[in-house]
Structure 1
Amino acid sequence: MAHCNENYLNLQGAYLFAEVRKKQEAYKAAHPDANIISLGIGDVTQPLAPVVIEAMKKAVEEMGHVETFRGYGPEQGYLFLREAIAKHDFQDRGCDISPDEIFVSDGAKCDVGNMQEIFAESDIVAITDPVYPVYVDSNVMAGRSGKYVRGAYERFEYLPCYEECGFKANLPSHDPMIIYLCSPNNPTGSALTKKDLTVWVRYAQQTGSVIFFDAAYEAFITEDDVPHSIYEIEGAKEVAIEFRSYSKTAGFTGVRCGYCVVPKELMLETKKGEKISANQLWDRRQCTKFNGCSYIVQRGAEAIYTEEGQKQIQETLDIYRKNAAVILAGAKEAGLPACGGVNSPYVWLTVPEGMTSWDFFDFLLNEAEIICTPGSGFGPCGEGYVRLTSFNTPELTKEAVERMKKALAAR
């Protein structure tokens, strides 16, 4: 009989968002007439921008003719998209990123989960707490975690993010080789300033660690001192890999497209002390395990970089930004401390005294028919909080906030 990968046995419970969905479906089954409003899973509601639709239609038409049909594309992504990314997302911001450092994929979640494969199993991982669960679970599956003991994995270095510090982590104390940072942060909504990020880059340069910088929500940044890319910091190309997504930027959650940047300056070390390019390793991994993102989808992504495309996606992003402001204001009116919602589509809400995160989840579901995401699912430091998202429609977002305020007032 074949043997299982026992690293999977170290995973704790169900994947957070699957558990939320399971509870929602159970409530709906017991209350068929329920009018549930979801501010939980971060899925978008607004349609794709017209320029994206037109570009994808044109690409579909091309696929119907021998002369313009496309088969397998480059595993790294089509050059037309990588050139647009390099120019608009990086070079226009003063970041020296070239197309051959960009790898287009079917979403940032896959890249964030898979990037650890090119690193040694022995490398210690530092993870902020609370944290996006994929960072944790992918390294558990890879065998880096050790056993789960008293609410934590033995071999991870946890970086607590407390309210008193603006939900920002202090530097690690044990010099891990892989450090996960997310800014604007999922789930807390906090954002790292240029000064904050400079400290992390300098630390990585001194210790030889590599920063996995998740910038999936950079499109929501509104404050001038919050970098959109870690490569805005001098020296970051030597120590950082960046992950981006079109899911929230352009509503591609169901279309699937994102990319990562693996700079050519970033070198990893073999057991013999030899230096090897992380860019080359990732390229080899992608060519082996990935056949590339759809041509049709990549044409859609390219369209958002046009002048009209930028205008259209900003109109949609403004809807979500206003929703976030409504949620943040409503939470404070209800007497619950909250943060985020400024550079982020997420609002991180302190639950009422005497409740756990899942208690408040159940309260909102049963008393207001609202779905949130329990903070404890993001790590031990997430207990006592819930995450609310701004990705619903303006009408339903306002209704959800009124329901929440009413339920809390009647409690």
Structure 2
Amino acid sequence: MSVIHQSLSTSISSSSSTFLGHNNLKSIKSSNVSIPGRINVVIECVATPSAEITAYKTKVSRNENMGKLQAGYLFPEIARRRTAHMLKYPDAQVISLGIGDTTEPIPEVITSSMAKRSYALSTVEGYSGYGAEQGEKQLRASIAKTYYENLGIEEDDVFVSDGAKSDISRLQVLFGSKVTMAVQDPSYPAYVDSSVILGQTGQFQKDVEKYGNIEYMKCTPENGFFPDLSATRRTDIIFFCSPNNPTGYAASREQLTRLVEFAKENGSIIVYDSAYAMYVSDDSPRSIFEIPGAKEVSMEVSSFSKYAGFTGVRLGWTAIPKELLYSDGFPVAKDFNRIVCTCFNGASNIAQAGGLACVSPEGIKAMHEVVGFYKENTDIIVEAFNSLGFKVYGGKNAPYVWIYFPGQSSWDVFSEILEKTHVVTTPGGGFGPGGEGFIRVSAFGHRENILEACRRFKQLYK
């Protein structure tokens, strides 16, 4: 395990957006918003052997699937490079538009509910220990009503969790090592990495930058960022994210209808990731269950992370209809319930109090205001790159802008932007071979940092 420990005495405006200091652009000044403090940077999640040699070794073999993983997980690797850059330029004002971490405060209508629940735990009447592994009854009912009303999803179809990413791994445990898997290319790297760890894949093939036994469904500007299903081989499981991370594109009703029909023809299960549904600005479906017949072939994973700023609070859910059955007729939801009961003690009761506030009328209004702020940030980024003549995609239905750099390595573009502007982006190649030649710019950030980053982009590429 490769670990970097480095203490940096500095001033920060956000743990995920701004670090103050020197840079090569003479006109860049320090941020006006700062919090004096000390940052302890710890970068882990790198699946490489330690350089240290110990005197004693156990007789336990390493999970061979861990050895298939390539270098570090994308976002810790970006953090590692950001840390190295900050050491190289200790006075630089680094703006992070890489990892999709929210920056704006959680609305008070939500935090006040969490505070009330927290204080109640100090009383005999208000204390509660273990809760239901599936989530509190009232929250499950409220999620079903808020997001799936008239779609046939009921309270007991909803499993509350500590976030969509955690549920992705639990679902992989549910499916086991013998299923075959399809993913959009490019796509959120957790789908592929969890598949590798579970042993569903072959070795990594460096010549094509793909793992064996995974079907990569290429999503490009040429096909409207929706895969050619006629050229897609049959797999057991199809991971599909809409609006998509990283491209920012939302599939249309007609496209999702084709996807559901494709799954039915092949007897596949769709794992639909709707973590950015609240960002949809057009008539694209916000849930896969809006499509007729989807309940027979689909489940849906979602989260409050990007709606209410719950990236640190951790609260999400997975909806599994009763109609979704295995080949022997056994309900998928019953097996997932067993996984949850075995591997999970339920989401934090304090976080669930916040979730209840999120789906109240006041909470929904507050979340739309937060989402609206980030969508304004997205418009600013799109305008900046459009003005520079780049081919710009996404940005309409998601807080990500997908920018094309033809003929260039995405990691090289990432490095050039970081070196010359002190802005952290995300290289498209980190999302799969289909992302090569692109970078993703996140709209999560304080407004002054978004404006400053765009000013630097314009100075670099004018």
TM-score of the alignment, normalized to the shorter chain, above 0.5? yes
Deviations 1:246-294 (A, max 9, x none): 000111001000000111111113xxxx321110000000000100001
Structure 1 residue 364: Cα displacement: 0.9
CA distance in 1, matches of 2:106, 2:152: 30
| 1:185 and 2:261 correspond | no
Deviations 1:47-83 (A, max 9, x none): 0111111101110121011112010000000011101
AA aligned opposite 1:375: G
Residue 452 of structure 2: aligned partner: 399
Structure 2 regions of 5+ residues with no counterpart? 1-58
Which structure dedicates a bigger proportion of its chain to helix?
Answer: 1
Structure 1 regions of 5+ residues with no counterpart? none
In the TM superposition, what are the counterparts of 1:63-102 in structure 2 within 5 Å? Answer: 63-91=121-149, 94-102=150-158
| 1:284 and 2:342 correspond | no
AA aligned opposite 2:397: N
CA distance in 2, matches of 1:53, 1:255: 10
Residue 162 of structure 1: aligned partner: 220
| 1:114 and 2:173 correspond | no
Paired residue for 1:387, among 423, 435, 440?
440
| 1:22 and 2:76 correspond | no
Q: Which has the higher contact order (CA 8 A, sep 6+)?
A: 1
Are the equivalent residues in 2 in contact too, given 1:375–1:387 (CA < 8 A)?
Answer: yes
Structure 1 residue 120: Cα displacement: 4.2
Structure 1 residue 112: Cα displacement: 1.4
CA distance in 1, matches of 2:160, 2:312: 16
AA aligned opposite 1:73: G
Paired residue for 2:118, among 55, 60, 74?
60
Paired residue for 2:160, among 95, 104, 111?
104
Are the equivalent residues in 1 in contact too, given 2:170–2:339 (CA < 8 A)?
Answer: no
Deviations 1:346-366 (A, max 9, x none): 000112x45311111111111
CA distance in 2, matches of 1:120, 1:12: 21
| 1:209 and 2:268 correspond | yes
AA aligned opposite 2:303: S
| Divergent runs of 4+, >3 A | none
Paired residue for 2:384, among 301, 326, 330?
330
| 1:9 and 2:83 correspond | no
Residue 314 of structure 1: aligned partner: 368
CA distance in 1, matches of 2:437, 2:232: 26
Structure 1 residue 173: Cα displacement: 3.0
In the TM superposition, what are the counterparts of 1:146-295 in structure 2 within 5 Å? Answer: 146-149=202-205, 150=207, 151-171=209-229, 173-224=232-283, 226-269=284-327, 274-295=328-349
Residue 3 of structure 2: aligned partner: none
CA distance in 2, matches of 1:393, 1:102: 34
How many residue pairs get aligned? The number is 401
Paired residue for 1:362, among 401, 412, 415?
415
User: 2:342 is paired with a residue of what secondary structure?
Assistant: helix
Task: Give the TM-score normalised by the residue count of structure 1.
Answer: 0.96
Pairwise CA RMSD: 1.0
Please identify, of 181-190 and 299-308, the stretch whose mean Cα deviation from structure 2 is larger.
299-308
Structure 1 residue 392: Cα displacement: 0.3
